[in-house]
Structure 1
Amino acid sequence: MKKISFLGAGSMAEAMISGLLQAQICTKEGIVATNRSNDEQLMYLHETYGINTTRNKRDFIQDADIIVLACKPKDASSGVSSICEYVQEHQLIISVMAGIPTSYITQLLGKNNPIIRVMPNTSATIGKSATAISASLHANEEHVALAHTLFTTIGVVQTVEENDLDAVTGLSGSGPAYVYYLVEAMEKAAQEIGLDHQTAKPLILQTIIGAAEMLKHSQKHPSILRKEVTSQGGTTEAGIATLQQYNYEEAMIACIKNATKRSKEMGEVYSKEK
């Protein structure tokens, strides 16, 4: 591909740029980025990755094979409106704006561009994102395959229907924060049981990493793996009993459901706009 243009130059755009260059999907000369007003961030991306940056919207769009909408959801209207006159219908639009329906982007563009809506998570910055992608009405299998190739550079990719993206947002989009919250609690517990931070942190992190690797490589259901660690009358049984006492499972389910609900609410705002 000749050129990928990023509208928005924050952490997700940087993660994608880094992944694309490392995977040699495109060259640094083939990537251009712009944002609303942060010149310092554009300079950082230019100096770090050697990509092009510009404030000229015509130059930004011209000859782009792919336009990545990586601005904040609240800036969707102003961002897309600022480039719509230069966008051509054959150009593929990839949106990483959480909660913004493809129908709303089509409305803002005033054109029937192929659009792929994407829900990565912040682990993209280290190439470990759990990403879901979905296609708009005007996107075909070739567009989906291209998006799949791009996002494989920053992690694992699943293709879903667009109406499932709210559930993905609540599950894996927000998911890293749930894990970080768990680690926060484990660090506080370690302090209360007498372990200093330098001793506890690597033990906690390796516990999380090791458990994730076990889940990834084992054919056993998580409940079986949990039971294999839990000896009758032992320490793990005592710990699990406490989690059950505090309705840990119910709290996690409610957490994900509420995040999903909020994603739907955000999307409905834009779906109703004319």
Structure 2
Amino acid sequence: MLANKTIAFLGAGSMAESMISGVISAEKISPDRVFVTNRSNADRLEEIQHKYGVSAMPQNELPIKQIDLFILAMKPKGAEEALHSIKDKLNPGQVILSVLAGITTEFMEDHLNPGQQVVRVMPNTSSMIQESATAVVAGKHTSMANVELVKELLECMGEVYIIDEDQMDVFTGLAGSGPAYFYYLMENMERVGVQKGMDEETVRKIVAQTIFGAAKMVLEKEEAPTSLREKVTSPNGTTASGLEALRKYNGGEAITQAVEHAAKRSKEISKELEGALVTS
């Protein structure tokens, strides 16, 4: 149970703050059981401590033996150094969780002592409003009890999905990069509305509500998007005409390629990053 655990964030950037905000707001854990540290920015630590009531301190003052769950939340290039700094102070029951892009469970296991429990997670930017779609990948030594613990923590930021490591790249293409695809769609819909004389603020709200409503229909009705699309598409109607234009201009293929390209780039970044860390 998360309430009985202690958590330490190694890094105090925006993702760490999103997670701290979520877990404190959800009252899943007492602020005095949450620690946060970074390499050198004392002002940032003071800001986080004042804002959330957590314990902020330099890394060399962190009570490592008391921590149940360590969260790597620095820049990816700092991962190797962070792992080495705590490696020989850990016991096998402690869990290392990474929210760093490109850092695999295998990489973490290779830089820690044999048998150490690790978890890789990927939230998306909607974690800022507790509406993230977050992926969880467990390391080969991680117990199911600790996977459930991590899931409980991440549910403070939105919905959580347990996947395999080889699915992380496509998850990145779908959910990690996904919000940007919808923002791009909204940009273009908004532009048409403004060009046709609508107020920019009003049309933005209309477009956002339309996308929100469509997403909520999928989640609450538990029907496939294809089924919902067919139900609202009358023959020869306005929706059919709009969809025909999407087909004519390869809208579906554009979406497919966006996901494919993002997934491919995710795989490339992992290889590039691991190669750079190994040779540095």
Please indicate, yes or no, whether the TM-score normalized by the shorter chain is above 0.5.
yes
2:19 alignment partner in structure 1? 16
- Contact 1:70 / 1:96 at 8 angstroms: preserved in 2? yes
- Contact 2:31 / 2:53 at 8 angstroms: preserved in 1? yes
Provide Cα deviations, 1:193-225, integer angstroms capped at 9, x if missing partner.
211112212111111111111111124321221
1:142 alignment partner in structure 2? 145
Sequence identity, in percent? 40
Matched, 1:234 2:237: yes
1:74 alignment partner in structure 2? 77
1:218 alignment partner in structure 2? 221
Cα displacement (A) at 1:111: 4.6
1:87 alignment partner in structure 2? 90
Instruction: Choose the corresponding residue for 1:65, options 62, 65, 68.
Output: 68
Q: How many residues align?
A: 274
Cα displacement (A) at 1:241: 1.7
Instruction: Choose the corresponding residue for 2:261, options 252, 258, 262.
Output: 258
Q: What amino acid does structure 1 have at the position aligned with 2:6?
A: K
Q: What amino acid does structure 1 have at the position aligned with 2:56?
A: T
Q: What amino acid does structure 2 have at the position aligned with 1:6?
A: F
Judging changes above 3 Å, is the alpha-carbon distance between structure 1 residues 37 and 186 closer, same or farther for their aligned structure 2 residues?
A: farther
2-structure distance, mates of 1:125, 1:4:
19
- Alignment partner of 2:264: what SS? helix
2-structure distance, mates of 1:58, 1:16:
22
Cα displacement (A) at 1:72: 2.1
Q: What amino acid does structure 1 have at the position aligned with 2:32?
A: E
Matches within 5 A, 1:168-247: 168-247=171-250
2-structure distance, mates of 1:154, 1:218:
23
2-structure distance, mates of 1:74, 1:177:
24
Judging changes above 3 Å, is the alpha-carbon distance between structure 1 residues 270 and 60 closer, same or farther for their aligned structure 2 residues?
A: farther
Matches within 5 A, 1:92-107: 92-107=95-110
Q: What amino acid does structure 2 have at the position aligned with 1:150?
A: L
- Contact 1:101 / 1:270 at 8 angstroms: preserved in 2? no
Provide Cα deviations, 1:95-131, integer angstroms capped at 9, x if missing partner.
1112211121122234531001111111111111111
Gaps of 5+ in 1: none
Cα displacement (A) at 1:271: 5.0
Matched, 1:30 2:30: no
Q: TM-score with structure 1 length normalisation?
A: 0.93
Cα displacement (A) at 1:58: 4.3
Matched, 1:248 2:251: yes
Instruction: Choose the corresponding residue for 2:125, options 107, 122, 125.
Output: 122
Deviates more, 1:77-86 or 1:219-228: 77-86
2-structure distance, mates of 1:179, 1:9:
28
Provide Cα deviations, 1:165-187, integer angstroms capped at 9, x if missing partner.
11111111111111111111112
Q: What amino acid does structure 1 have at the position aligned with 2:50?
A: E
Judging changes above 3 Å, is the alpha-carbon distance between structure 1 residues 136 and 228 closer, same or farther for their aligned structure 2 residues?
A: same
Cα displacement (A) at 1:60: 5.1
Gaps of 5+ in 2: none
Matched, 1:44 2:59: no
